[in-house]
Amino acid sequence: MRTILAFLVLTSGALSACRGTAAPAGSAAGAVTLAPLPAACGATGAGVSGSLANEPVTEPLVTFDTAWQIIRRTHWDTTYNGVNWLAVRDELRPRAAAARTRGELRVVLADMVSRLKQSHFSIIPQETADAATEKGGGGSARRSGGALGFETRLVDALTLVTHVDTGGPAWRAGVRTGWVLDSIRGCPVAARVARLPRSLETRRRVLMAYQLTTQGLEGAEGDTISLAFRDGTDAPRAVQLSQGPAAGQVVKFGNLPPVLADLSWQRVRAEGRTVGVIRFNIWMPVLAAQFDAAIDSLRGADAIVLDVRGNFGGVGGMSMGFAGHFLDSALVIGEMLQRGVTTKFRANPRRIDTQYRPVRPFGGPLALVVDPLSASTTEIFAGGLQGLGRATVFGTQSAGQALPSVPERLPNGDILYHAIADFVGPTGKQVEGDGVIPDRVTPLLRRALVEGQDPALAAAITWAARQAPRPIVP
């Protein structure tokens, strides 16, 4: 049985419907053409990424026909989201036959999968999928500028620093939350964001702006990068940062590009209570034992908060095991709908801890924090616990891109990453599209960031602490 993924592939090499998302609120991803970067920014056009893009392609129709047939055979909707799939083949096949390079063929394949206007359909170049991760190099699940020690989000047309790793390169250079990232290596960040169509729905714009900014910040460990910021008083700050070692463990899962997996947890005090906070950036098996250990460490806490902002997803089945840490019965957190087959995602209640001692799932208050970069398995998990009434969700609306999918190698060596199912939560509501809507919307505000605050996380922690039962005083 193939491992089912729900993972939004956002690498600099992937050509996907998500990369060209242009959809109204509540709808699935569609494709658009990104405007080229200015020549001064070191780019001549939108181009086709991949070091093998200019290599000659042999038998392009074999690859094109294979990709088309895979989707025809595995797509769960026999109407193909209202698309005439036969007509798509007839239209694009001559273009595929005329392709002379691998890059030209990739453009045709990317055009084909984009016609479905759904997430989790992309073409991953062979060199991207097979690459060994360089130190400090890129990866879908990495934070924006992960090796630089900070991350960003697009907020009201400004690219803001939303997190700085204490002790990392950015922190040591004085960079703080709330600062505006104005340029990368002399290229205005606004020029990168301006590539996105104005018609983009806000969540998709935030997601794609993150991708474009991350690409500009990538580099190998030891590389120096020049950045221009505006600090909390809007004073300009020119900063030279040296790429440090990226946090986390390199994971190579099947045919997908290598990514970095990172998990951390801590205890905080709020309202006279102890609240455990767990953060993790991806759903990969390497983090399962770490999550189990985190729960063991926090089992005596009064409440738990899971911060899954920026978590693009991963192995879908892990949502059932993680849910079992918080549900005491095998409740259904959602259903995967394939062609003629429905698979229920049931929580797997945890009855023993990491030392094989009997325990019960954590029964205290549970809060989750999401944002537009929370996607796929993250949405399956968060939406499932929210729908069951087990968790209260804070932050901003999630990506709404949650289709179970698999990667398959094409004859030319590239990877077709394609969805094979729809997914509905425990209330029967489709996760794709609207995603997870927080119970308490807590948007990012620059003023709060400048003051060193994290409004969404703070609201989740305060709520969780207040829900915890008061100790009995004799």
Is residue 472 one of the residues assigned to a domain? no
Quick check: is 141 in a domain? no
Is 222 a domain residue?
yes
* Confidence at residue 143, expressed as pLDDT on a 0 to 100 scale: 39
Q: Quick one: 56 and 94 in the same domain?
A: yes
Q: What is the rounded CA–CA span in Å between residue 327 and residue 345?
A: 13
Q: Do residues 187 and 216 touch, judged by C-beta distance below 8 A?
A: yes
Domain presence at residue 345: yes
Tokens coding 472: 């009995």
The predicted pLDDT at position 42 comes to: 59
- Please tell me the predicted confidence (pLDDT) of residue 301: 97
In single-letter form, the type of residue at position 221 comes to E
Q: Is the Cβ–Cβ distance between 7 and 407 less than 8 Å? A: no
pLDDT, position 145: 40
Q: Backbone dihedral region of 6: left (phi > 0), alpha (psi from -120 to 50 degrees) or beta? A: beta
CA distances to 64, 214, 465 from 58, in Å: 11, 33, 62
The partner residues of 447 in beta bridges, in order of sequence, read none
Q: Which amino acid is it at 383? A: G
Backbone region of residue 80 per phi and psi (left: phi > 0; alpha: psi in -120 to 50; beta: other values)? left
CATH number of the domain where residue 191 is located: 2.30.42.10
Q: Which of 200, 218, 242 is the last residue in one of the domains? A: 242
Residue pointed to by tokens 């616990």: 385
Q: Residue 140: inside a domain, yes or no?
A: no
Q: In total, how many domains does the chain have?
A: 3
Whether residues 157 and 38 share a domain: the answer is: no
Instruction: Judge whether 169 lies within some domain.
Output: yes
| Helix (H), strand (E), coil (C) string for the chain | CCCCEEECCCCCCCEECCCCCCCCCCCCCCCCCCCCCCHHHCCCCCCCCCCCCCCECCCHHHHHHHHHHHHHHHCCCCCCCCCCHHHHHHHHHHHHHHCCEHHHHHHHHHHHHHCCCCCCCEEECHHHHHCCCCCCCCCCCCCCCHHHCEEEEEECCEEEEEEECCCCHHHHCCCCCCCEEEEECCEEHHHHHCCCCCCCCHHHHHHHHHHHHHHHHCCCCCCEEEEEEECCCCCEEEEEEECCCCCCEEECCCCCCCEEECEEEEEEEECCEEEEEEEECCECHHHHHHHHHHHHHHCCCCEEEEECCCCCEEECCHHHHHHCCCCCCCCEEEEEEECCEEEEEECCCCCECCCCCECCCCCCCEEEEECCCCCCHHHHHHHHHHHCCCCEEEECCCCCCCCCEEEEECCCCCEEEEECCEEECCCCCECCCCCCCCCEECCCCHHHHHCCCCHHHHHHHHHHHHHCCCCCCC
Whether 292 and 433 share a structural domain:
yes
Instruction: Determine the pLDDT at residue 245.
Output: 87
Q: How far apart are CA 284 and CA 7, in angstroms?
A: 10
Residues 236 and 262 in one domain: no
Which token pair is 456? Answer: 């969404």
Answer for the pair 460, 369: CB distance below 8 angstroms, yes or no. Answer: yes
Q: What are the two backbone dihedrals, phi and then psi, of residue 459, each rounded to the nearest 5 degrees? A: -65, -40
If asked whether residues 177 and 103 sit together in one domain, one would say no
pLDDT at residue 339, as a whole number: 92
369 and 290 inside one domain: yes
* Any domain includes 284: yes
For residues 5 and 406, is the Cβ–Cβ distance under 8 A? yes
User: What is residue 365's predicted lDDT score, i.e. its pLDDT?
Assistant: 98
What pLDDT was estimated at residue 274?
Answer: 97
Half-sphere exposure (Cβ direction) of 274: Cα atoms closer than 13 Å: 10
Say whether both 208 and 294 belong to one domain.
Answer: no
Last residue of a domain, one of 79, 104, 130: 130
Answer yes or no: do 180 and 54 share one domain: no
* Same-domain status, 154 and 88: no
- Residues in the chain with pLDDT < 50? 12, 17-28, 30-32, 44-47, 133-145
Q: How far apart are CA 172 and CA 56, in angstroms?
A: 47
What residue numbers bound the domain in which 389 lies?
A: 251-403+420-467
Q: Report CA-CA distances (Å) from 169 to 94, 122, 166, 243.
A: 51, 33, 9, 7
Give the residue among 8, 76, 9 at the shortest CA–CA distance from 430: 76
| Same-domain check for residues 310 and 428 | yes
* β-bridge mates for residue 276, sequence order: 267, 304
Domain-terminating residue out of 204, 225, 242: 242
CB 154 within 8 A of CB 202: no
Amino acid at 327: L
